[in-house]
Structure 1
Amino acid sequence: MTSGNNGASTPEDDDPFGYLYADGQANGAQPPSGGYGYPNSVNRVRAVGQRQYGQQQAPAAATAPYGQAPPQQQGAQGQPNAHYAAPETFPGGAPTTQQQMPGGGGRGRGPNTKGLLIGAIAVVAAVVIGIGVAMMNGDDGDSGGDNQAATTPTTSQSSEPSPSGSKSGGASAADLPKIDAKALRLGTGVSTASEIKGASAAGGVYVTGLNQVGSEVTWSVDGIPKDGVYTLFAGYSVPGKDQEMTLTVNGKVFGSTLNLGNFAKAPEGDFAKGWTQTYAYPSLNKGTNTISISCQNGNQCDVLLDRLWLKAGQVKR
């Protein structure tokens, strides 16, 4: 085969700048005017957005001189064929009219803030009124409680004796029997003395010799006005150590023991500074009763006893 000139129809001859060369000019190449330099070259120029896939291609838009509006293209049905169409122009697109909320005014209504504010104020007012009523009722109840608490005895302090019994009841008699040490009935080995100063009984007399098992003093009480609970007081001294003895009322042991603590805080061995008092709440019968204080097994009985007395109800002084 011999080489030959096949014309400007092959890709290597489709040179947009062929008109610049001598062989291109010999083959009829011209400056570009819409296509490549060679005759019959392929025109690939297309307006942006003109290609629509799956649809019939519309003819290219005509070019208008500078400064003038281009002519309007007509579609297949004689309608304008713009490069861009708003969504509402397509079937099923967005509506072209603005929807208004019921109630007019051209804009939607927000939450009913005025109604919510009125409701909140009403709730607060109801709460304030309820608190005021509760406080008024509470004041009435508190006044009654204060009067009741004033008549209730308080608990014993650390420097005071604690009661040996806690049965309820009471008596209204103002003057009740009392007795000094020298008037008590003394048991075996028990005697009276007055050498140690500080006893409150007449003449400073006290009972001694109670520090042995079986020792006892007895008081036969007359003139109890009615059955009930009374307060039995005992005056005594201890040598700087807590002591305890057995209390018997009408032949029955009352409570655990009679508390005879060192409430005066006396130094050990110093009876003169150990004088103090204790109490218990025994139940007594109307008329005559028998009260005994004794030293039993397990008791601590190093005690000087100077007097006994009664008061109505449960008191501490």
Structure 2
Amino acid sequence: MTAGNNGASTPEDDDPFGYLYADGQANGAQPPSGGYGYPNSVNRVRPVGTRQYGQPGPAAQAPPQQGVYGQPSAHYAAPETLPGGATTAQSQQPAYGGGRGGGRGRGPNTKGLLIGAIAVVAAVVIGIGVAMIGGDDEDNGGNQADSTPTQAQDNTEPSPSASGGEAEEEAELPTIDAKALRLDGGAAAASDFKGAKADGGVYVTGFNQVGAKVTWTVNGIKEGAYRLYVGYGTPGEDANATLVVNGKAENRPLNMKNFGGTPKGDWEKGWKTTWANVNLTDGTNTIELACNEGNQCNAVLDQFWLEAEPGA
């Protein structure tokens, strides 16, 4: 269709409200009185499609059908193809993958969207976990700060009652050899046969008579229960003696049995060890071993030493 006047009574001239406009009034439009308000307009009823406008001729053709989606229209030209039109980059629309056998295209990739959603959720969960771990670290840090010793505690020296002091105290418990004991009542030092552990193999002999005794004066002892160990030797027979601590005789004699059954008369193989519980006081203590009436004193004496009573 070309621009121009196609004659009177064109569709736009049939505007029933043309009399309301200035151009309609200029063309002589009048309020409707049976017609459309324009000159030469008539109120006729015609079948649809029978009225012809302009010059006689064939009926107007229906507009061409729109082309297939994605195909360029024959009646459309892009602006950049016209003379003087701006050259623009034509964006290519992504085509969805066709169905099986070239059928209708599918919709958006829901699998990709699902994977993306899962990734977002995982990121959120990881972020929450990291935040929680960070909070726990801060809490733990606070507790550690509370438990950190103060400067005064760091500089505090171990007290004498610590385990190290106790170990030193145990190491300082005294031991005495036979020749360092005070000998009375016929007791004397000798080294006629071997086996004594005292310095030089010296032991106390002459103890096998009533009134014989040895005395050990112990200094620097703390009050408590101890074990008194005595090294002795017998000629294959049992012996015993009276134990006196700080002037008080113990109720039970010190047992010096022939443990192990050494053959009678064999002094060198008859060395044994025995012990008794003693209660000592702070400071200086006197320990005596005496041969009194009723004792069996046929024995020789080697070393004396103290050990702490277990559990004391």
TM bin (shorter chain): 0.3 to 0.5
TM-score (norm. length: structure 2): 0.45
TM-score, normalised by the number of residues in structure 1? 0.44
Instruction: Give 1 or 2: higher helix fraction.
Output: 2
Structure of higher RCO (CA pairs closer than 8 Å, 6+ residues apart): 1
